Amino acid sequence: MLVAQNLSLTVADEPHLVDVSFQMERGGLYTILGRTLAGKTTLLKSIAGLLETDSGQITLDGGDFSSEPVWRRNVAMVYQQFINYPHLSVAANIAFPLKKQKLDRAEIQSRITAAMEQVGLQGFEDRKIQELSGGQQQRVALARSLAKRSEILLLDEPLVNLDYKLREQLRDELKSLISAEFNTRGIVVYSTTDPREAMQFGGEVIVMDEGRVLQQGPAKDVFEHPATTRVAEITNDPGMNLWQADCDAGQFRVSETLSLPVPKHLSKTAAGPCVIGFRANDVVIDEAGSNFRVELSEISGSETILHLRQGESRMIARVEGVLDVSLDDQLPIRFKTDHLYAFSADNSLLQSPYGSQT
């Protein structure tokens, strides 16, 4: 088990990690989810020993891991940039850390062959890095890490610089590869800014923001039961719509002209100020709805992303199909109130449409 206790790091008066604690079991897949500058890369580098924290401790199976020098940590790391040795062949790139481990030639060749098969690069052994596509270069970086057969594999947004189609393909392959390679002995930590990617990988999710861990748990539980409004924003794309409201007489009163009925699953919400939340795809264009003004319309594949406003109340809606709308058009909007969330006035989760957390 890998355990971090109260890790903190400040650089040039800027906090990069703030009292970070977590536990990671062997055989587990852990996704660190957070927006840019959340502290994800800093945390991975701290685990790898590339950064020294100001305070706190990391232990592995009960032993002190923080004081281990980098070269003694059985850790492999794949960065979002394609970090390879351009003057070396593919095989030589994969062999580089194995030679540092002073493995014999037969063992090195065996590991190169196995790693190249795992990432689908058979036949590319003698190619130079410059001759490869971006996706192939990232596969080389991954193969080099897999060949080390480390206890801990750290993946720092490894797919972010790839085009959409290749990212989707490699994501599926990577998930299968990780499951097969690290199902019992290793720990895999994957960082991403993309909530959909975090949910697709499954396993456990650690939500970070401004150097702090906001929530950790199984991906499904974190998605269905965000602990705070900030977690709800980070774990959704677009971020969850959040409105200040007053709960009164069976209504969530958002403004003088906008109210939503309190659904059954939120019936225990206490009277008074609260925050209601709903996802972008829980909005429906319906003639029976309330009119909202279009502030922006974006086509995203087979969907349309709408930025809508009524008075001071703004929201983002995701609707199926390509809509022909113009700025300042009025659209009648209905809400799937059975999907509403209720948060307290201090932004903590009160009730979820998914019932109690497991």
User: Distance between CA 132 and CA 119 in Å, rounded?
Assistant: 14
- The residue-averaged pLDDT of 308-332 equals 94
Q: Do 9 and 182 touch, CB atoms closer than 8 A?
A: no
182 or 297, higher pLDDT: 297
Lowest mean pLDDT among 21-30, 77-86, 108-117: 77-86
- Could you tell me where the DSSP H helices lie in 71-122? 90-100, 105-118
Check whether 57 has a pLDDT greater than 90: yes
What is the pLDDT, as a whole number, of residue 338? 95
Check whether 213 has a pLDDT greater than 90: yes
CB atoms within 10 A of CB 16: 24
Domains and their CATH numbers in the chain: 2-234 (3.40.50.300), 241-351 (2.40.50.140)
Check whether 185 has a pLDDT greater than 80: no
Check whether 356 has a pLDDT greater than 80: no
- Tell me the backbone φ, ψ of residue 166, rounded to 5 degrees: -65, -35
- The residue-averaged pLDDT of 205-226 equals 97
What is the pLDDT, as a whole number, of residue 182? 58
Both tokens of 94, joined, read 């994969």
Sheet holding 152-156, edge to edge: 75-78, 152-156, 187-192, 29-33, 204-209, 212-218
pTM of the shown model: 0.90
What is the pLDDT, as a whole number, of residue 137? 87
Confidence grade of residue 232 (pLDDT, cut at 50, 70, 90): very high
User: Distance between CA 88 and CA 128 in Å, rounded?
Assistant: 6
Q: Do 354 and 224 touch, CB atoms closer than 8 A?
A: yes
State the chain's mean pLDDT as an integer: 91
Count of alpha carbons within 13 angstroms of residue 64, beta-carbon side? 6
What is the pLDDT, as a whole number, of residue 358? 55
Lowest mean pLDDT among 39-43, 160-164, 234-238, 347-351: 160-164
DSSP string, 176-203: HHHHHHSSSS-EEEEEES-HHHHHHH-S
Angle ∠(311,317,322) on CA atoms, nearest 5? 120
